[in-house]
A and B are shown apart, each in its own frame.
Chain A
């Protein structure tokens, strides 16, 4: 992937936008102890990165925006930033893979890219904890779920049902972010085209 100077500047600016949302809004949400922070920030971030893909329609543009945002996240005043950094890069990677495999940019591929990227936020904590604590954490979670379900008289399958419900919610929100990004990206391109025409006319 070789981006031109102009494309690199756009990647940098949109990466800075995602990064500033992560640093500013992220810190605020952490202080307020808002639930599902990862999903909220991930949805906003992936919407920005997908708009970036409309403006720079090149494979690798989305993941580059994500990498810039992740590196800026390292400057965050919060304590543990490694896990969010990995989550940001993974979201960008998933969205980029879907868009690159999907061929010509279309509304549908943007919806799928957004949905799959946001649903990563549901899987991410489990995988990261598995990496840090080892397979023991999975055994412990399974045991906690089985005993907790037995205590409340529920079957283990109802826990799976809750997980599936959450996954559906994340997919819907992510799909919405993809659709929003597609529409917003086209608006941005239209505004830029009008701006360029105006400049051309003046010259």
Chain B
């Protein structure tokens, strides 16, 4: 009895489960309409709560709800065939329906994307892009992440130096100088990284990243999602 939820959480906790749920949410969000979209929204939110709860975080922000309310309201006010109208504005049922569709579709996509981004580590994304042909990108992202505080400090120092030497009196020259100084500092950092990497006989080509694998325990989930998406798309089309 105790091992069942643990097994379930292990199945739902992997990157492959997150990718499957993301793809499923995207397909049903794009293909369904009206009442079917409401069902799709329910399914997508349930999956998000089980697989990537962090994906639901945007729904706790006031900003998201303001955006969705504006979408539904403006679509209702400017829609076709209004029941009641005052000047260019009116109350349009078809506009309200279109607005509700847009809002539901937006919630599905926002939750799915946020969930995927929060559940897949940045190095896995780097590894995925490397496999797409951007070789050495994983290394570059790692180096960039470590250089970030150094570069920020260098930017602030250059800006203060420029300001104290009255460099801002000629804005165009100041912008050019700032760009040259900032890039030169970055290149100095890059040279140091290269020297350190060469001293350790590091080669980005020699780095082998683990391939993205589908676990056997995720297959029933994938099969269920594909079947459900098929049924939804069939009826909603």
**Judging by beta carbons under 8 Å apart, are B147 and A16 in contact?**
yes
**Judging by beta carbons under 8 Å apart, are B134 and A134 in contact?**
no
A48 adjacent to chain B (CB < 8 Å): yes
B94-112, CB under 8 A of A: which get 1 and which 0?
A: 0100110110011001100
**Judging by beta carbons under 8 Å apart, are A72 and B140 in contact?**
no
B189 adjacent to chain A (CB < 8 Å): yes
CA distance A8 to B95 in the complex (A): 51
B91 adjacent to chain A (CB < 8 Å): no
The contact size tier of chain A is 35 or more
B2 adjacent to chain A (CB < 8 Å): no
- Chain A, interface SS category: helix
**Judging by beta carbons under 8 Å apart, are A20 and B151 in contact?**
yes
CA distance A139 to B97 in the complex (A): 13
**Judging by beta carbons under 8 Å apart, are A60 and B143 in contact?**
no
Name the distance in Å between B203's Cβ and chain A's nearest Cβ: 7
Name the distance in Å between B58's Cβ and chain A's nearest Cβ: 7
**Judging by beta carbons under 8 Å apart, are B186 and A16 in contact?**
yes
CA distance A89 to B79 in the complex (A): 35
**Judging by beta carbons under 8 Å apart, are A136 and B101 in contact?**
yes
Residues of A within 8 A of B95 (CB): 140
Tell which of B58, B136, B155, B179 touches A20, judged by Cβ atoms closer than 8 Å: B155
B170-189, CB under 8 A of A: which get 1 and which 0?
A: 00000110011011101101
CA distance A67 to B127 in the complex (A): 13
**Judging by beta carbons under 8 Å apart, are B152 and A24 in contact?**
yes
Residues of A within 8 A of B125 (CB): 71
**Judging by beta carbons under 8 Å apart, are A72 and B148 in contact?**
yes
**Judging by beta carbons under 8 Å apart, are A10 and B187 in contact?**
yes
**Judging by beta carbons under 8 Å apart, are A67 and B183 in contact?**
no
- Chain B, interface SS category: helix
**Judging by beta carbons under 8 Å apart, are B148 and A19 in contact?**
yes
CA distance A8 to B207 in the complex (A): 14
Name the distance in Å between A55's Cβ and chain B's nearest Cβ: 7
CA distance A7 to B41 in the complex (A): 46
Name the distance in Å between A107's Cβ and chain B's nearest Cβ: 15
Closest partner residue, chain B, to A10 (CB atom): B190
Name the distance in Å between A163's Cβ and chain B's nearest Cβ: 19
CA distance A1 to B141 in the complex (A): 17
Given contacts A17-B182, A132-B110, A140 and B198 within 8 Å (CB-CB): no
CA distance A175 to B102 in the complex (A): 36
Closest partner residue, chain A, to B110 (CB atom): A132
**Judging by beta carbons under 8 Å apart, are A9 and B88 in contact?**
no
**Judging by beta carbons under 8 Å apart, are B143 and A82 in contact?**
no
Tell which of A17, A47, A67, A185 touches B151, judged by Cβ atoms closer than 8 Å: A17
B84 adjacent to chain A (CB < 8 Å): no
**From residue 4 to 31 of chain A, which have CB atoms closer than 8 A to chain B?**
5-6, 8-17, 19-21, 23-24
Name the distance in Å between B92's Cβ and chain A's nearest Cβ: 10
B227 adjacent to chain A (CB < 8 Å): no
Tell which of B61, B63, B106, B197 touches A5, judged by Cβ atoms closer than 8 Å: B197
**Judging by beta carbons under 8 Å apart, are A68 and B155 in contact?**
no
A35 adjacent to chain B (CB < 8 Å): no
**Judging by beta carbons under 8 Å apart, are A5 and B198 in contact?**
yes
CA distance A193 to B199 in the complex (A): 23
Q: Which 10 A-B pairs have the closest CB atoms?
A: A12-B143, A13-B186, A16-B144, A9-B190, A147-B88, A12-B140, A13-B190, A133-B102, A12-B144, A16-B147
- Which of A's residues lie within 8 Å of B, judged by CB? 1-3, 5-6, 8-17, 19-21, 23-24, 47-48, 51-52, 55, 60, 63-64, 67-68, 71-72, 74-75, 79-82, 131-134, 136-137, 139-140, 143-144, 147-148, 150-151, 180-181, 183-185, 187-188, 191-192
- Can you name 27 A-B residue pairings with CB atoms under 8 Å? A1-B133, A5-B194, A5-B198, A9-B197, A13-B189, A14-B183, A15-B141, A16-B143, A16-B144, A16-B151, A51-B183, A52-B183, A68-B140, A72-B145, A79-B63, A80-B110, A132-B106, A133-B102, A134-B30, A134-B102, A136-B101, A137-B71, A140-B71, A140-B75, A140-B95, A143-B78, A147-B78
